[in-house]
C-alpha cells in the first residue's frame, strides 16, 4: 500500500470511528481531512501519488481524472491540477474503504 492509500485508509477509519453509519457527515469529514493531508497539499507528494496510482492503481486514477474535467478547464497550472487529482484520488479511496467497512458492520 502506498502512502496516499495509507492516508485514505486512516481517514476512512477515523470517519468510521467518529460518524459510524452517518454517511453524509463521514463524507464531509473525509473531504476536509483529505484537503488537509500532505499527499494532497504538497506538489511533490501529489505527483508521487499520481505516479504510484498510474502503475499500481490505474482504476482509481482514471476515475479521479473523469471527475476532474471541470478542474482541467478552470486551471492550466500543473501544480493545481496535480493537487486536485491527488485529493480526488484520496477522497475516492477513503470513501470506498468507508463504504466497505460500513457495509461489513451492518451485516
The pLDDT, as a whole number, for residue 68 is 82
**pLDDT tens per residue, the chain (107 residues)?**
689 999 999 999 999 999 998 999 999 999 999 999 999 999 999 999 999 999 998 898 899 988 887 666 667 788 888 999 999 999 999 999 999 987 777 66
The pLDDT, as a whole number, for residue 80 is 86
Helix 43-56 × helix 58-67 angle, to 10°: 120
Assess contact for 60 and 86: CB atoms under 8 A.
no
Lookup: cell for 3: 502512502
Lookup: cell for 7: 492516508
Domain ranges of the chain: 3-106
Cα–Cα distance measured from residue 71 to residue 74, given in angstroms and rounded to the nearest whole number: 5
Amino acid at each position: 500500500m502506498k502512502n496516499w492509500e495509507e492516508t485514505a485508509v486512516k481517514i476512512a477509519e477515523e470517519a468510521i470511528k467518529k460518524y459510524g453509519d452517518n454517511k453524509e457527515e463521514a463524507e464531509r469529514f473525509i473531504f476536509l481531512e483529505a484537503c488537509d493531508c500532505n499527499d494532497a497539499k504538497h506538489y511533490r507528494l501529489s505527483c508521487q501519488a499520481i505516479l504510484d496510482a498510474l502503475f499500481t492503481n490505474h482504476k482509481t486514477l482514471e476515475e479521479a481524472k473523469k471527475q476532474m474535467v471541470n478542474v482541467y478547464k478552470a486551471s492550466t497550472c500543473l501544480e493545481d491540477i496535480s493537487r486536485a487529482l491527488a485529493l480526488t484520488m484520496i477522497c475516492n479511496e477513503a470513501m470506498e474503504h468507508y463504504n466497505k467497512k460500513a457495509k461489513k458492520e451492518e451485516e
